[in-house]
Chain A
């Protein structure tokens, strides 16, 4: 392998554009590359990458590598790992950043084991150690109860980064960069999975990840009817409804509403947590909210430790009056 250098971002494309996780990684990656005076590379894989390479350059990349092939239409472990293995061997970056997304969670470990490299998943912060020049990888562990800082013992240093942990740069359309296609040689016989169907379970209205106000219900809501009331409040706030895990597990709401370590990561201005205890695994998904408001009948509930304002009481008695007053204030 050639001498390792550069910071590489594995880019994801959503609906023909760079996914928000990728602009975040390019923002964070730019900072790391500048600090170590190296280049920022971005690799984009798909059947067609469209305008995403130009967007990656505007978002911070110096060089973009594209791998296009009809066999890469959908993410599949075998095909994507094969392309990434070749790219990492050819380009030998010192650091490889992926998102802690459906794709990154699957791709990163398999790739790391294939390359014999180390991986830290779900990182919240990355910095370069001034002495060793190695990447300090801060990740959330023990369900969010603790943080651990890891360092890799070998190159490349591979990490996945939690969504919204890093900030994108303001896109600069005048920025110049190189775009290089890479040759893909895939043997279809070596792709051992087949995607039969993709089923979207999106709910109507504003997406949780994009909402500036979120009303989240927990186990204490007790059933699907209660969530209708939360919806009414969310609607008044032009926001979205979320849930802790039990309402999803119990089928009161779709699984896609789950906020937390293994659900969505959200960072709204306003997060109203109703009848949920504030387990560390839940807070992992919402502690980036600017203002958490708690409604819970138990004054000792952990959520009050994270909240800015709170009311102790039964949500069934509190919520109707709260929603009504919110509507009145918003109308006047």
Chain B
């Protein structure tokens, strides 16, 4: 089973909300000091989905990350979890892309890798929360896609996928090759082992530039965008919380109930 997993490096989405800042001049997020970036959490779970298949039936996992000045400690994490190879699409020209230009470059890189049965993506990247790139890659490659998976098994040239829906899940069978996007319901991604970390440290990623994957500069990064970012801003919160205090927890709790009654909320 040849598997490819697309992993994006993002600002830590679980950094304290108070540390989140935007530079209005450049319409960009200011990375919070002292909080290192991470692999987008759903992408780690996409790696986990691939590893589970590798555990049960063997196979090879190639990880693809696109960006510029990617931190090796961050992007190598999937290797230390058990992935086999890392390909970085790393160049200034990849900066400022949107779902279109990113999906296009990733699809072209996947064509260059050539052999694959399953491609995994996260259901959405934890920065722009778009949830488009996976379906986009599948469309460009002309392969079927199943999104928001919580379980993936490969059997007889097909994948059997549990796809999360609002009130439960669906069991969907899809022909291979296929692209699957993974959700947190899959369960926690495994930790890197010491052995994995040592092996990852020795592995050198393959680095491809736009020309290596045959993407035209006009289709790359900011130049290949199909949406224009007009403005990025933080919503204002006017909230003011009234804290109910009392001598004992029981009294405070009863005080809260009385407050809710006075405010006609119960």
B185 on the A face (CB < 8 A): yes
Chain A positions within 8 Å of B126 at CB level:
143
Known A-B contacts A151-B228, A325-B254; A146 and B29 likewise in contact (beta carbons under 8 Å):
yes
Report chain A residues within 8 Å CB of B20.
Answer: 142, 145-146, 280
The CA-CA distance from A108 to B227 in the complex, in Å, is 15
Q: Could you say which residues of chain B place their CB within 8 Å of the CB of A311?
A: 243-244, 252-253, 255-256
Q: How far is the CB of A216 from chain B (nearest CB, A)?
A: 15
Query: CA–CA, A198 to B243, complex, Å?
Result: 45
Docked-complex contact B266 and A308, CB < 8 angstroms: no
Contact yes or no, A317 B249, CB < 8 A:
yes
Contact B135 A110 (CB under 8 A): yes
A122 & B129 in contact (Cβ 8 Å cutoff)? yes
Quick check: B266 and A326 within 8 Å, CB to CB?
yes
**Contact A310/B242 with A193-B144, A199-B170, A317-B249 known, Cβ cut-off 8 Å:** yes
Separation in Å of the B167 CB from the closest CB of chain A? 5
Q: Are A261 and B129 in contact (CB under 8 A)?
A: yes
Q: Does A102 contact B (CB under 8 A)?
A: yes
A269 contacts which chain B residues (CB < 8 A)?
A: 265
Q: Which of A49-57, A224-232, A299-307 contacts B (4 or more CB under 8 A)?
A: A299-307
Interface string of B223-266 (1 = CB under 8 A from A): 00111111111110101011111000111111111111101011
Look across to chain B and name the residue whose beta carbon is closest to the beta carbon of A139: B129
Q: How far does the Cβ of B251 sit from chain A's closest Cβ, in whole Å?
A: 8
- Check if B22 is an interface residue, CB within 8 A of chain A: yes
Query: Which residues of the other chain, A, contact B120 by a CB distance below 8 angstroms?
Result: none
Query: In the complex where A113-B135, A262-B184 touch, is A256 in contact with B256 (Cβ < 8 A)?
Result: no
Judged by a CB distance under 8 angstroms, whether A136 is at the interface is yes
Contact A193 B132 (CB under 8 A): no
Q: How far is the CA of A28 from the CA of B127 in the complex (A)?
A: 27
B interface residues, tally (CB under 8 Å): 87
Whether A145 touches B145, Cβ cut-off 8 Å, given contacts A317-B249, A321-B253, is: no
Chain B residues 154-191 with CB under 8 Å of chain A are: 160, 164-175, 178, 183-185, 187-188
Report yes or no: B29 in contact with A142, Cβ–Cβ below 8 A: yes
Complex contact B140–A281 (CB within 8 A): no
A60: shortest Cβ distance to chain B, in Å?
24
Q: Give bound CA distance, A295 to B241, whole Å.
A: 12
| B63-105 contact mask (Cβ, 8 Å, vs A): 1 or 0 | 0000000000000000000000000000000000011100100
Within 8 A of A (CB), among B32-71: none
- Count of A residues near B, CB < 8 Å? 89
B243 close to A308 (CB less than 8 A)? no
Residues of A within 8 A of B250 (CB): 317-318, 321
Q: List the one stretch of B11-19, B197-205, B210-218 in contact with chain A.
A: B11-19
Q: Does B221 contact A (CB under 8 A)?
A: no
Contacts of B229 in A (CB 8 A): 148-150
Q: Which of B29, B232, B241 lies at the interface centre, i.e. has the most chain A CB atoms within 10 A of its CB?
A: B241
The answer to whether B172 touches A194 (Cβ under 8 A) is: yes
Q: Known contacts A136-B230, A146-B233, A201-B168; decide if A310 and B244 are in contact (CB<8 Å).
A: yes
Q: Are A329 and B144 in contact (CB under 8 A)?
A: no
Residues of chain B within 8 A of A140, CB atoms compared: 129
Q: Are B241 and A192 in contact (CB under 8 A)?
A: no
Instruction: Tell me the nearest residue of chain A to B140, going by C-beta.
Output: A113
Q: 18 pairs across A/B with beta carbons < 8 Å? A: A78-B144, A105-B148, A109-B132, A113-B135, A121-B130, A145-B20, A153-B226, A192-B175, A193-B175, A262-B183, A294-B241, A306-B239, A308-B263, A309-B243, A310-B243, A313-B252, A318-B256, A321-B250
Extra contacts besides A116-B226, A143-B13, A311-B252 (18): CB < 8 Å: A102-B165, A120-B227, A121-B132, A140-B129, A141-B232, A143-B129, A147-B232, A149-B232, A152-B227, A152-B228, A201-B167, A201-B168, A291-B263, A305-B237, A309-B243, A312-B243, A312-B245, A325-B253
List of 7 A-B pairs having minimum Cβ-Cβ separation, nearest first: A325-B257, A109-B135, A192-B144, A321-B253, A322-B253, A113-B139, A317-B249
